[in-house]
A and B are shown apart, each in its own frame.
Chain A
Amino acid sequence: MEQEHKPPNYMAIFYWLAGLTVVEVAWATLLHTNRFPLIVGLVAFAGVKALLVALFFMHLKFERKSLGIIVGSTLVLGVILVTVGLLEHYLPRP
């Protein structure tokens, strides 16, 4: 079993998630035509939200390292899959 830990402040995480959702929608509305900052900002906000859910709600922060390695390696494979797919489009063809 994982080590006993003090439960995180779940309501604080909820406020962060709700607040970041509002910021995301506002960001998308304000920077509608400016593609580069729009995409960078949205990816950053979504990344932080996903990280908060995984670390605190799914308790990955308090789990054994071995579990983190299993989940982390899956994420790395996922990132490689998407990156290779996108590079196929962006890299010049022979």
Chain B
Amino acid sequence: MTTHALTADQHLEPPSTTGIPHDKMGMWVFLCSEVMFFTGLIGAYLVLRFSSASWPDPSKTLNIPLTAFNTFLLICSSVTMVQALASADRGDLRKMKLFLSLTLLFGACFLGVQVFEYNKLLFHEHFTPSSSLFGSVFFTTTGFHGFHVFCGVVCMAYMTGKAFLGKLTQAHHQGIETLGLYWHFVDLVWIILFTIIYLF
């Protein structure tokens, strides 16, 4: 019986030579590649911006207060995500579900605000990717970030569904930490994008 239990545990948590669970390590390696991806985009933006003789004032085209509110939403989602993990660690599964749902809600709201912003820029102010160099890099960079948030929201919906189906317990909730790493990374990237694209 003990041998059976041990075998089952080993099947669930394979031994790790790094001391870090495999899925978490895999996520970190993936995030390292994401760092290089966004560094490429941010680097291209900075080089184009500082090598251009003139550059439009972002505050004249973009809605800074709205985007600052969106930044606040993403920061809120990061806090609820980390609180979901802390609740799972404590075994408080009710709060874990609540915080996962809130994270999903904040992420969806962020995307909603971004769609609203894009709609206003593209169809009302005629600021498009082809209208200027700024437009091109703005939509490329924020678009790729938005796509990352979208992927995060889809994964968050899956994780929240698992939580409500009772598949996440105090002993087995590694997925929350792994997804949380991705989510916080997306928040971190937005903190930098908001500063250099909207405020510079």
Residues of A within 8 A of B (CB): 1-2, 7, 10-11, 13-14, 17-18, 21-22, 24-25, 27-28, 32, 38-39, 42-43, 45-46, 49-50, 53-54, 56-58, 63-64, 66-67, 70-71, 74-75, 77-78, 81-82, 85-86, 88-90
Contact = CB atoms under 8 A, between A and B. Distances in A.
Given A21-B68, A71-B28, A82-B39, 16 more contacts: A7-B89, A10-B83, A25-B199, A32-B59, A46-B196, A54-B188, A56-B82, A57-B78, A58-B185, A64-B20, A70-B32, A71-B35, A74-B32, A75-B35, A78-B39, A82-B43
Contacts, number: 119
Q: Is the interface of A mostly helix, strand, loop or mixed?
A: helix
A44 to B, nearest CB: 10
Contacts of A71: 28, 31-32, 35
A48 to B, nearest CB: 10
Given A10-B83, A24-B199, A74-B35, A67 B20 contact: yes
Given A24-B199, A42-B200, A64-B19, A14 B184 contact: no
A8 B16 CA distance: 26
B79 A10 contact: yes
Contacts of B43: 78, 81-82, 85
Interface stretch (B46-54, B111-119, B133-141, B161-169): B46-54
Q: How large is the interface on B (under 10, 10 to 19, 20 to 34, 35 or more residues)?
A: 35 or more
Interface in B53-72: 59, 64-65, 68, 71-72
A14 B40 contact: no
Contacts of A38: 200
Contacts of B29: 70
Given A67-B20, A81-B39, A21 B72 contact: yes
